[in-house]
Structure 1
């Protein structure tokens, strides 16, 4: 109970997708019942009027020739086959319409999901103990409540229909057969539409309830959300450690690159950018190390320790610092950098460390 109370967070997209993959979807049986009822009404009142004429003619022909049908096997077989074909011509179009609309409604509710595992037999579905546990555990109470509400709604609708049908039935006295049939068809259509509208209201409420219960079952606790995040995105602590490790390795590589740099351009204190240019091998000087504040100081110290010239040129250092490592300097800085490198090459004193920029 405590665990259920802790599940106050809406289910994540990953949990919803996992539930869908496992066949846990929102499928309203009341919505399916509405579609079946609606399809039946459409079939009976739209298709049957065009089909019943041929059926009646076939039956009239069969009854008119009933006395002449041979009672031997061939005669009975032909008459039976004729009756079955006539019945199928009448029933199959309506049944086909009902089936097609029912399948379409099911696929629309499930998002065209087909889950073969849900079709496999499960002992829990046929186990008396499992069924008794579900009943005693209170899991069927919502379904019982829905059934009672549905019964009350249909009772109210039928009572309303009955109050209107009784006076109409009294007025049929003395009418012709065709008029009586027309009246019955009208009353049947009105009653079917009323029942369909009642079922539509029930289906709407059931869809809302099923979605609410589905979401409630999939709610998560804060710990579950954190665990899911760690499993999908990675542990934040580990990610931080990996990021720090990568940063240390980048710094180590830069410090090694500074030892072979051609020159280090500084701000002079906030930025340091180490450049390498190999005459005849490089088309332009390349940035091999850069740093800010403490890292800039370490680059300057490493350069001084390995007798790499350090040149103070704040505008150039600020312009080169945003560029990525291992990239060549832009053409607009060629002239300034070329002058610095040319000056460095002319140095004859091996112990020179700090060189003023010109």
Structure 2
């Protein structure tokens, strides 16, 4: 296993995918806090004003009739139910807004990943020894600095809010309820916007830090990358050996095809191309073997042992050598090849011509 000091390479896509499947994902709690604040802000300043009027009317009716509610026959119970319903009608939409935004933040951070393993109880979460190891291991030191920085930012924001609120509070003395309510609403809106802006700054830094720490934990050494490549793509040495074996088998098949060739066209020493043509089968002559230098010499040797005619024709041999195995010769070479094959057939007849010197 490589030491942590050796893990200098960025994690591979396979490593990132494996970590994701294991539930190791980036999750910023500060981003969740920001969405909770934003949801509360939206609830108080956007949803609450539309619900307060109905809530106040319901509570006024209950208070006005409080002295006439019969204690028997469930009268008090009915009044209590109405009060609870009025309170829920005020609280549920705001709570639902906060919950929806928090869920959205969680799903956006995790890419809609739901990992069942994270729901199972783990001993290290409740073990005092494991908790002490986490603290002593230094992993909480950056979190401590982060908490101190968060405290300092919010302290500065609260100081700024207080600094602006004190002069405003002095002007509230003696105001009518309407202007007083507007002034208090503006002050609350400004304070909430400042708090949300500060939390947005903290959440942005926390997301960056969490991603940086996540990628650092998943870093790999060069040996890890090599092992992963061997596991996924196969050992390069084994693949090279397999490639060599396939090439050897293909060469053996090619040399075996020389034994049944119709003719071997040569350069005469640098190139050798074996052609096969069967009368009446149809199609053009086909290349069944080819080679140069040592391979060409081996083709000529096999052809001589198996009494396959060898015909020197340097231009044709060089042209046919560029074509792939098992391919039929192109039309531009039909005439020359037909002449050679006709010559070979004459050789095979009783009393046929002799081969030209090779």
Which residue pairs with 1:191 in the alignment? Answer: 191
Which residue pairs with 1:297 in the alignment? Answer: 297
Which residue pairs with 2:112 in the alignment? Answer: 112
**Equivalences for residues 254-273 of structure 1 within 5 A:** 254-273=254-273
2:345 aligned with 1:333: no
User: More deviation in 169-178 or 279-288?
Assistant: 279-288
Say if 1:157 and 1:256 are closer, same or farther in 2 by CA, change over 3 A.
Answer: same
Which residue pairs with 1:136 in the alignment? Answer: 136
Q: Distance in 2 between matches of 1:73 and 1:130?
A: 58
After TM superposition, the score normalised by the length of structure 2 is 0.94
2:14 aligned with 1:14: yes
Which residue pairs with 1:307 in the alignment? Answer: 307
Please give the secondary structure, in 2, of the residue aligned with 1:347.
helix
Asked if the contact 1:304–1:353 (Cα under 8 Å) also holds between the matched residues in 2, the reply is no
Say if 1:174 and 1:353 are closer, same or farther in 2 by CA, change over 3 A.
Answer: farther
Q: Distance in 2 between matches of 1:139 and 1:78?
A: 55
Asked if the contact 1:309–1:352 (Cα under 8 Å) also holds between the matched residues in 2, the reply is no
Please give the secondary structure, in 2, of the residue aligned with 1:323.
coil
Asked if the contact 1:9–1:219 (Cα under 8 Å) also holds between the matched residues in 2, the reply is yes
Asked if the contact 2:347–2:355 (Cα under 8 Å) also holds between the matched residues in 1, the reply is no
Tell me the CA shift for residue 43 of structure 1: 1.7
Asked if the contact 2:260–2:276 (Cα under 8 Å) also holds between the matched residues in 1, the reply is yes
User: More deviation in 334-343 or 265-274?
Assistant: 265-274
**Equivalences for residues 130-279 of structure 1 within 5 A:** 130-279=130-279
Q: Distance in 1 between matches of 2:25 and 2:334?
A: 65
Which residue pairs with 2:43 in the alignment? Answer: 43
Tell me the CA shift for residue 296 of structure 1: 1.9
Q: Distance in 1 between matches of 2:171 and 2:247?
A: 94
Asked if the contact 2:270–2:296 (Cα under 8 Å) also holds between the matched residues in 1, the reply is yes
Which residue pairs with 1:324 in the alignment? Answer: 324
Say if 1:56 and 1:354 are closer, same or farther in 2 by CA, change over 3 A.
Answer: farther
Asked if the contact 1:288–1:326 (Cα under 8 Å) also holds between the matched residues in 2, the reply is yes
Unaligned runs of 5+ in 2: none
Q: Distance in 2 between matches of 1:277 and 1:190?
A: 93
Q: Distance in 2 between matches of 1:108 and 1:197?
A: 20
Tell me the CA shift for residue 348 of structure 1: 4.0
Asked if the contact 1:44–1:94 (Cα under 8 Å) also holds between the matched residues in 2, the reply is yes
RMSD between aligned residues: 2.0
Q: Distance in 2 between matches of 1:165 and 1:188?
A: 9
Say if 1:14 and 1:353 are closer, same or farther in 2 by CA, change over 3 A.
Answer: farther
Asked if the contact 1:307–1:353 (Cα under 8 Å) also holds between the matched residues in 2, the reply is no
Asked if the contact 1:254–1:288 (Cα under 8 Å) also holds between the matched residues in 2, the reply is yes
After TM superposition, the score normalised by the length of structure 1 is 0.94
User: More deviation in 147-156 or 177-186?
Assistant: 177-186
Say if 1:259 and 1:173 are closer, same or farther in 2 by CA, change over 3 A.
Answer: same
Q: Distance in 2 between matches of 1:328 and 1:188?
A: 87
Which residue pairs with 2:79 in the alignment? Answer: 79
Unaligned runs of 5+ in 1: none
Number of matched pairs: 357
Tell me the CA shift for residue 349 of structure 1: 7.5
